[in-house]
Structure 1
Amino acid sequence: MKAIAVFCGSSVGNKPGYLQQAERFGERLAEKGITLVYGGAQVGCMGAVANACLSAGGRVIGVIPEKLKRVEIAHQNLSELHVVKTMHERKALMAELADGFVALPGGAGTLEEWFEVFTWSQLDYHNKPCSFLNVDNFFDPLLRMLDHTIEQGFMNEAYKELYLVEQEVDVLIDNLINYEHKTISKWTTN
């Protein structure tokens, strides 16, 4: 695994663990020689994961839309910063550059970015792992919602094999490195 895309908040949240785990994740990527691909901001958890990776000697690629350069405050000290025109271009380039995807705590943008790559995995547009770093059980309500979609017949239970959920940074990174994609037919019934 050469590069991992991280989706996370441009805010820090209200628990210290969110920022601490973002920093730990960035640091561990650098130590493992894995490039960080992320949204290009210097603020919030986004900035924390990038700064920690850079401080540990890692390579960091940011991708930010022109419109968000001032809002999210584009990071000026990255290994590479790609400025694109739209959010669609941002997500497409991040997906192209990454070998796997991780959601850390964040808001609607984080969830939207993660669900897009997870949907692509379901439809077999890529075979890259999608995952959650479940800091302080942040994603538990969302995971219950995914189970609810299965219970209500809107998602094949086998799709749970397409995403990883871990609370420990090192375990998640190891699982991403060892991930083996399973092709699951969209129209298979339970």
Structure 2
Amino acid sequence: MPKVRLSGTVHGTDDPGRAVRAKLLYLLFNAGWDIYNSNGDQRITLSNIEKKIIESEAFVFTPGATLEDMFKAISIFVGYQTIDRNLAGKPTVILNSDLSWDPFFAVLDHLNKMGTIKQDHRDFLLTADGPETVLETLEMVRLKGLPDAGREKIGESKSTSFEEPVPDDYIGNVCVFCSATLEESSYLADGRSLGRQLAENNIGCVSGAGRSGIMGAVVEGSVGAGGWTAGSNVPHIIELEGLPDGLSSFWLRPDIYTRMEVMIENSDAFVIFPGGAGTVQELLALMIFKHQKNPLMAGKPVVLFNRLNPQGVRFWAPLIELLNGLCRPGDFVVAENLDEILPAVRAGMNAKVPAEA
């Protein structure tokens, strides 16, 4: 029997989503699906999420969207974008009968307008307004398949890991999560400037080791200023984007989740620059870790760069609105100008970071 992974959790007998989930379970089982996580009590981690994807032939999300649900959904969308072979032909359906997913979709629509998401999320994260429609949508994808993400390989990945120790006089490492596709010149200039500032202040620069877009510019700025610059990437994304020159350390990982994990492990603070679905995925992972009191995030600040674009639009405005309803005060801070980022990072880092020189 084909296996479908069900997301969402039922919170007791009074949960309004209980009846919808029960009907969905009945219809899926009756249609011949083997159901993973039927009770909504299985936990996903960065270490096991790729395994869960490989085990499943389809993914269904239920009403009552949570931070963790959104992380899983955006992770699957990123997999479609980056042509993850483990997601080939596997449909994702979101049952949005309570409209709780609308703010999440609004973020994706906004990023599409801002140019960091090229695909229409509706083509990949299919929505349904009732349990019966979920079954119809799964059958439609079985017959027609999923659309092409519109990306092509630029080469083969022959990369291996290497590591150079962080200099003794460095005060910490900052991980910059950002777009590897946005090529607008003012964004690239900001990326180079941040990379250079980190190096000049004896702060290591960690990134997703992309060669293009803002990510490539951040690396270029740090490397150009002589900074210790590290990153992690995975083979199938390297084949799409390549690797930057000049890295001090590089951690090759098999999937985007263990890639995130090693970046978090090796960083003392995080800056969320303008980005796309991958950047949203990474930010949600940080927020979930904070809520779980994961030791990997202890004492590590998160700074969201809510940059103003030439049309007067703040880049992360819809995402901040979404997070304000799901996160606690202090989970992240917002910087609206480039020169606010480094002071915010220093203010939030642990006691080993000295005052601004």
Q: Tell me whether the two structures share a fold, i.e. TM-score over 0.5.
A: yes
Q: CA deviation at 1:122?
A: 2.1
Counterpart check, 1:34 vs 2:206: no
Task: Identify the residue that residue 107 of structure 1 maps to in structure 2.
Answer: 276
Q: Which runs of 5+ in 1 are unaligned?
A: 150-154, 182-190
Q: Secondary structure, in 3 states, of the residue corresponding to 1:58?
A: coil
Name which of 314, 317, 322 aligns with 1:140: 317
Map 1:118-157 to 2 at 5 A. Answer: 118-125=287-294, 126-127=297-298, 128-136=300-308, 137-147=314-324, 149=325, 155=326
Distance, in Å, in 2 between the alignment partners of 1:178 and 1:134 is: 18
1:68-87 equivalences under 5 Å are 68-87=237-256
What's the counterpart of residue 90 of structure 1? Answer: 259
| Larger relative contact order (CA 8 Å, sep ≥ 6) | 1
* Counterpart residue number, 2:348: 179
TM-score of the two chains, using structure 2 as the length reference? 0.46
Q: Is the 8 A contact 1:28 1:170 kept in 2?
A: no
Task: Provide Cα deviations, 1:102-140, integer angstroms capped at 9, x if missing partner.
Answer: 110110001101110122112211221112111212111
Query: Aligned partners of 2:199, 2:303: CA distance in 1, in Å?
Result: 19
For residues 10-89 of structure 1, what are the structure 2 equivalents within 5 Å?
10-13=180-183, 15-89=184-258
2:218 maps to a residue whose letter is V
Give deviations 1:143-165, integer Å, cap 9, x for gaps: 12223x2xxxxx36xx1212011
Q: Is 2:187 the partner of 1:8?
A: no
Which has more radius of gyration? 2
Report how far residue 178 of structure 1 moved.
1.7
CA deviation after TM superposition for structure 1 residue 67, in Å:
1.7
CA 1:144–1:50: 2 relative to 1, 3 Å: same
Structure 1 outlier segments of 4+, above 4 Å: none
> Unaligned 5+ residue runs, structure 2?
1-170, 309-313, 351-357
Distance 1:56 1:133 in 2: 22
Within 2, Cα distance between the matches of 1:35 and 1:161?
Answer: 24
Match of 1:185 in 2: none
Q: Which one-letter code corresponds to 2:180 in the other structure? A: S
Does structure 2 retain, via aligned residues, the 8 Å contact 1:134–1:167?
Answer: yes
Q: Amino acid of the residue matched to residue 140 of structure 1?
A: A
3-state SS of paired residue (1:82): strand
Identical amino acids, percent of aligned pairs: 27
Count of aligned pairs: 172
Which whole-Å CA distance do the structure 2 matches of 1:47 and 1:20 have between them? Answer: 11
Q: In the superposition, relative to structure 1, how do residues 174 and 123 fare at CA in structure 2: closer, same or farther (>3 Å)?
A: same
Residues 269, 349 of structure 2: 8 Å contact kept? no
The structural deviation recorded for 1:16 is: 3.5
Normalized against structure 1, the TM-score is what? Answer: 0.84
SS class of match (1:101): strand
Structure with more helix by fraction: 1
